[in-house]
Structure 1
Amino acid sequence: MRSLRRRNAIGVALIVIDVLGVVFAASSVEQGRNFVLFPSALLLIGIIVVTPALSGPAIALAAPLLRRFGVPGTLAPRNARRNPRRTASTASALMIGLSMVTGLTVVAVSATTSLNQRAENTVTADFEITSRRGDSLPPSVHDTLAKSTAVTSSSPQRQGAVRIGGDEVNLTGVDARSIGDLLDPSFASGSLAALDAGGGENLLIDTSTADLYGWTMGQRVPVVYGDGSRDTLRIGGIYRNDEFLPATMMPFATLQPHLKEIEDTSVLVHTKDGDGETVRRSLQRALDQNPLLRLRNTDDLAESAGGGDITLLLNMLYGLLAMAVVIAVLGVVNTLAMSVFERTREIGMLRAVGLQPEQTRRMIHLESVLISLFGALLGIGSGIFLGWAAGRIASDSIQGYEMVIPWGRIAVALAGAALVGVVAGLWPARRAARLNVLTALKTD
């Protein structure tokens, strides 16, 4: 008992220190946030150390819910609380696996949700058409789409290289009249309306470009086009940089006369009927089912910006979770088998006073499910906290990142943990139910 109290004190101290370390590291400057992984690992160790002390109260809370199962429901929690260390060590395998996967799932779902939300807010076009080979599109693609009855507005993204000072800069030409229906940048200053202002010499840039060249709102920038002609462009707006937006925008009517060859990096279109599959097929027919063209809606854009890689990584992690589940099942089977062996005489006495084989089987199953759910709840709780801490790091590289807790997946994980308990209890429950009463009573 004294060793258990000492262990609990060490575990609580580790948890307190590690939680404070994680919170401090996650809330500090970028260099400090990289330190968050170390206290996070120690936090799991602290939880494992203190798990025996948590098992008793947690199982006691579940006991009233199990009483509806009659005598087996009364005996199961008592058996699970009998050896706290064994129950804790059994639950820890599932707890570690679920904590890691839950934490990474929180980060992955939050990042994917943020990408999708930002894509929807920034790209108001229904589709972006690009080349599958990654090269430019001929202007005929935009001309064809602009004539389609399904399209209400469209704009190419037409690039041209200019020289500004000693640097070569790529400027993106867009349709000044329709771009407001297709893109919605978040402006630090200025607006899209500057593109359609008289003269057509206005240039919009993102904050990264402004910082790189030291340009400010209203500044006039002398440029030399590829054909040698000179012009002066005025900075009419500065918008926050975004992977769904070009770094610069200017009226293509101003840029196009100076281009030796007209090529588009992409074409944005807004349709009458949204971005559904029916509209997609209609646009593909208008483009003669060209296999080299790719039509993407905002969901596709978010996936290409990183959402697909995140989903792939998450699926790989679920594969690792499956391995952890196998280990957890073996641990629960081993624990219950030892428990049945140690309680052979007790089970024999219960059978002698009227406990039926089916009730014996149910008692072991309930004990197994209790242990599995206890480990799952610990893992999910610690995983959500670790997901919050890791999300603080991810928020530096993912614009607009906000933590999202995937309650649906968490519910599936809890249901899976209950299933693990049922499966793990099959053999020990069968063995306990088939014990010979007289032989069991003679056991020392």
Structure 2
Amino acid sequence: MFRTALRNVLAHRGRLLMTTLAVLLGTGFMTGTMIFSDSIHQAANNSRSKDFTGISVQVADDTAGLPSSARQNSTKSSARLTEATVRRIAALPGVAGTRAEVSGTAAIADKNGNMIGDIMRSTGANFVPDAAGNDARYPMLQGRGPHTATEVALDRGTVEKAGYRLGDTVRIAANGPAISVTLTGVFSSDAPAVRSGNPLALLDTQGARRVLSLAPDQYSSIDVTAAPGTSETALLHAVTPLVPGGNQFRVETGAQLAAQQAERLAQSGRSLATMLTTAAGISLFIGIFLIANTFTMLVAQRTRQLALLRAIGAGRSQVTRSVLIEALLVGLSGSAAGLLLGIGIGAALAAGVKSLDADLPRAGVVITPTTVLITLLVGTLVTVLSAALPALRACRIPPVAALSSGEQPATHRSLFLRNVLGSLTTAGGLGLVVLGSTERGATARLPLMAGALLAVLGIVQLLPLLSRPVIALARPPLARLCGTPGSLAALNAIRNPRRTASTAAALTIGLTLVTAMTVIGASVSDAIDRAVTQEMTADYVVTTLTGTLDPSIATSVAHAPGVVASSPVTDVEWSIAGERTEAKGLDADSADQLVRPNMSQGAATALKRGQILVDSSFASRHGLAVGSTVTVAAPHGTGIRLTVGGVFAPSRMLAPVLLPGGVVAAHQPYAPAQQILVKGANGATPAFKQALKDATGRSPVVEVENKQNLRDGFDRTITFALNLLYALLVMSLLVAALGVVNTLAMAVFERRRELGLLRAIGLDRGGVKRMVRLESVLISVFGAAIGMAFGVFLAWAAGTTMTVTLPELRTVLPYPKLLLMLLAAVLVGLAAAQWPARRAARLDVLDSITAD
């Protein structure tokens, strides 16, 4: 039986090649993600020994380098790391040396004023020279380190990107206005962020303090090196009592720092790997339908051969084993090919890791025995399990009946049980989805995800039942448009509902996910667009990439030429009417010129009278209306009594409570501001934008955006996520195309006599081709339409749960994108039908008529 199985594999190379491709695609992406994860993990382990060389204990002040507002709002004490702290630690027994650091997030501009790299990974630090004027941590390749507060040294990668030369002027900024410094040196560094292409700027200690807004005697961290014979743990216990401010500062060993960095790097890799693994899993899941369909058709095609084996003495178990052995051989070969593909994918991801995530270290290709074993095992197991049901069907073929029959039709009982099970599964899944849609926030996630999975599985089971009425609707228009070939194509598509369903399942699953995310993306974009357009009347919004604006920038912007109204938007979290809630502070005199809340009671001008505005959700929870008085517990003003001056519709752009800026300043003077709203005398003009940019010191971290810029920013985030899903759609389409080719090839084989008769009574070769192509398109469009319909339903359900964070959200159908998806399904059907259609058209009429 093994030799028989091997001959069968070789006898149907073309058909089994498509099955092998399905296994190859699923296992290839899975293997690539495992190799990528292992490579990142190995790179993280390799890098941590370099980054913390010589550091036994580190004392770090996490508030150093933050904007003044953030530091003032910190609940920690006002203690600082100073030179006195460094001297006390250096005098400890067991300390070989100390290094006082001034470092934090700082942006470096290129020659055009644009920021280099990622702001969250761009660093400014102090140059710590020894007696010879060198810093061992940053060896100079050209020039020298900075000696004064107006000099800077940059890493080699940044200099090459920006095209800087020694002596050039460089703009650098953190939270305040940008400053100009002179480039005096170029150095090398093994820091992960630098190796990933992000800049590192070295200034002298006072220059670093000025850029990062530290006090004249303040350090952000102190690195301590242990003397020989002193353990890191012992040194940690000795250093900790000397650190001022109790638990205000982090005190950790070098080993702890290395482990934390390795975990951060590995987590970055895992996030990407999880996304890719999910795509690979879906691809492999879709491939199961193709594999099962292929073996079902192969069993049907070899009915007479299998029956002959039964007639000459082969038992049922032997026939079953022969089919499973074929699946084993196909699974092993497909998995081996998938392993090779995965190595290529993993190498490509490792090579392009800089563009994928700037925080990931450069990684080589790591192939572990576990990866090889899992790839071969998963691919083979999936293939064998997919072939198990066709194998059982093969052993049940009666020898005599099979010798006189080509294919055993599905029994009514089997279809009935499948329909009942599919109906129950679908109903349960839809019920969970509807239940999830009634929840809000994170509590809705579990029922939505579980319901979506159950419903997809149920719909796949119901596809045979759905195929007959849905495809039957297409027969009359096809008959009118395409004549006899169109009518025959519709009849052929529903001739074997189970085969049509298993072929269409790949598109159904893929388009369900992609459609749902596309509709959600369009709905969120629409909500953001309406909020920005209708509720913001400011011409520009000034923001900073570091998160919080320095108060000096708000003052500079207010005095810029052409400004008629401006207001920093301060963010606080106070207890209002007994509820801890987010609130925003706006300049009372300018607010009505900058924002336009959708008022249902009162007026936005109430802020000028020292009153507050609340949204309708907050008002209904606390029974508030215009004129109501609420108690506000602020950090420096317990029991403030404020009057409600207006009620507005909930909005993502505005907080549930809007406060007069004077009230916020009186009770929380250093409340952080993340944006400044500005209105100009002549509207949003390039000249006014440049005036605002100049007022901020032309800092690379400060952005001046109009409404269109804000909309584009939100759209970019959504588009990035959708592009990843469209890559999944491409995989689904590829697997679906293989399934359609398989189905049509088998249909052509089964209907040879029918095709011969059609040709004999006058249907020409072109008509045969059109019939096969239309059948292919019908199957593809059927699968796509079911998936898209369910995807829209899921998007609606998910959207209802998001109204807490996005009150303006409503379900929006992006018809152009949905039509493009449907068109893609049509093109898949046409492309997949080319070979089977040509094969059908080239059949010899007489040979086909006389075929058994």
Asked if these proteins are the same fold (TM beyond 0.5), I'd say: yes
Distance apart, 1:6 and its partner CA: 3.3
**How do residues 14-413 of structure 1 correspond to structure 2 at under 5 angstroms?**
14-27=425-438, 31=443, 34-67=446-479, 68-137=481-550, 139=552, 143=556, 147-149=560-562, 151-157=563-569, 174-185=586-597, 191-197=603-609, 217-218=628-629, 234-235=642-643, 237=645, 244-245=653-654, 249-252=659-662, 265-271=674-680, 275=684, 280=689, 284=693, 290-301=699-710, 308-413=716-821
Equivalent residue letter for 1:343: R
Cα offset, 1:327, TM superposition: 0.9
Query: Quick one: distance in 2 between partners of 1:296 and 1:116?
Result: 14
The reply to whether residue 7 of structure 1 matches residue 415 of structure 2 is no
For residues 504 and 572 of structure 2, the distance between their equivalents in structure 1, rounded to whole angstroms, comes to 62
Mapping 1:411-426, distance limit 5 Å: 411-426=819-834
Greater mean alpha carbon deviation, residues 352-361 or residues 215-224 = 215-224
Q: Is the 8 A contact 1:26 1:33 kept in 2?
A: no
AA aligned opposite 1:297? N
More relative contact order in 1 or in 2 (CA 8 Å, sep 6+)?
A: 1
Structure 1 residue aligned with 2:309: none
Which residue identity does 2:700 align to in structure 1?
A: P
Cα distance change, pair 10–204 in 1 and its aligned pair in 2 (3 A): closer
Larger mean CA deviation between 90-99 and 265-274 belongs to 265-274
CA distance 1:277–1:321, change in 2 (3 Å): farther
Secondary structure (helix, strand or coil) at the match of 1:82 reads coil
> Contact 1:25 / 1:32 at 8 angstroms: preserved in 2?
yes
Q: 8 Å contact 1:203–1:248 — kept in the other structure?
A: yes
Task: Give the structure with higher Rg (CA).
Answer: 2
Distance 1:258 1:307, change over 3 A: same
Question: Which residue matches 1:435?
Answer: 843
The residue type equivalent to 1:153 in the other structure is A
Q: Which moved more, 1:350-359 or 1:320-329?
A: 350-359
Q: Which one-letter code corresponds to 2:776 in the other structure?
A: S
- Would the alpha carbon gap of residues 287 and 83 (structure 1) be closer, same or farther in structure 2, given more than 3 Å must change? same
Contact 1:146-1:154 at 8 Å conserved across structures = no
| Distance in structure 2 (CA, Å) of the matches to 1:16 and 1:262 | 51
| 1:122 alignment partner AA | E
- Partner letter of residue 338 of structure 1? M
2-side partners of 1:142 and 1:79: how far apart? 75
Residues 205-244 of structure 1: CA deviation (Å, up to 9, x unaligned): 7899999xxx99545769897xxx9997745547677553
Structure 1 CA distance for aligned equivalents of residues 568 and 758 of structure 2: 80
Alpha-carbon distance, 1:77 to partner = 1.2
Q: Taking structure 1 as reference, are residues 21 and 248 closer, same or farther at Cα in structure 2, changes over 3 Å only? A: closer
Task: Give SS of 2:675's match.
Answer: strand
CA contact (8 A) 2:423 2:462 kept: yes
Whose helix fraction is larger, Structure 1's or Structure 2's? 1
Q: Is the 8 A contact 1:109 1:406 kept in 2?
A: yes
TM-score by length of 1: 0.80
Secondary structure at the residue paired with 1:394?
coil
In structure 2, relative to structure 1, the CA distance for the partners of 1:53 and 1:181 (3 Å cut) is: same
Residue type at the aligned position of 2:823: A
SS in 2 for 1:267: strand
Three-state SS of the structure 2 residue aligned to 1:133 is coil
Figure out how many residues of one structure are paired with residues of the other and give that number: 431
Q: Distance in 1 between matches of 2:449 and 2:827?
A: 31
Segments of structure 2 that go 5 or more residues without pairing to the other structure are 1-410
AA partner of residue 847 (structure 2): T
Deviation for aligned residue 1:50: 1.8
Equivalent-residue separation in structure 2 for 1:54 and 1:312 (angstroms): 35
Checking the alignment, whether the CA contact within 8 Å between 1:223 and 1:232 is kept in structure 2 is yes
User: Are 2:772 and 2:836, in contact at CA under 8 Å, matched by a contact in 1?
Assistant: yes
TM-score, length-scaled by structure 2: 0.44
More displaced 10-residue stretch of structure 1: 323-332 or 243-252: 243-252
Give the 3 Å change call, closer, same or farther, for CA 206–414 of structure 1 in structure 2. closer
**Closer, same or farther in 2 for the Cα pair 1:282/1:364, shift >3 Å?**
farther
Query: 1:107 Cα shift?
Result: 2.1
Post-superposition shift, 1:323? 0.9
Output the CA distance in 2 between the equivalents of 1:374 and 1:323.
18
Identity of aligned residues (%): 36
State the Cα RMSD in Å.
4.2
How far apart are the structure 2 equivalents of 1:434 and 1:271?
74
Q: Compared with structure 1, are the counterparts of its residues 54 and 275 closer, same or farther at alpha carbon in structure 2 (3 Å cutoff)?
A: farther
Secondary structure at the counterpart of residue 294 of structure 1: strand
Q: CA deviation at 1:388?
A: 1.9
C-alpha distance in 2, partners of 1:274/1:220? 39
Return closer, same or farther for 1:60/1:272 CA change in 2, 3 Å cut-off.
Answer: farther
3-state SS, counterpart of residue 429 of structure 1: helix
Q: Deviations over 1:30-57 (max 9, x none)?
A: 7567423323322222222221122122
Distance in 1, matches of 2:496 and 2:681, equals: 67
Shift of 1:117: 1.9
Give CA deviations for 1:43-83 in whole Å, capped at 9, x if unaligned. Answer: 22222222112212222211122122233222211211211
CA distance in 2, matches of 1:224, 1:37: 41
Distance verdict in 2 for CA 1:8–1:268, change over 3 Å? same
In structure 2, give the amino acid aligned to 1:120.
T
Question: d(CA) in 2 for partners of 1:353 and 1:364?
Answer: 18
Counterpart CA distance in 1 for 2:720 and 2:591 is 34
Q: Cα offset for 1:423?
A: 0.8
SS in structure 1 at match of 2:679: strand
| Structure 1 residues 379 and 279: CA distance shift in structure 2, 3 A | farther
Secondary structure of the residue that 2:813 maps to in structure 1?
Answer: coil
Task: Indicate how the Cα distance of structure 1 residues 237 and 391 shifts in structure 2: closer, same or farther if over 3 A, else same.
Answer: same
Distance, in Å, in 1 between the alignment partners of 2:633 and 2:779 is 72
Report the CA distance between 1:98 and its aligned residue.
Answer: 0.8
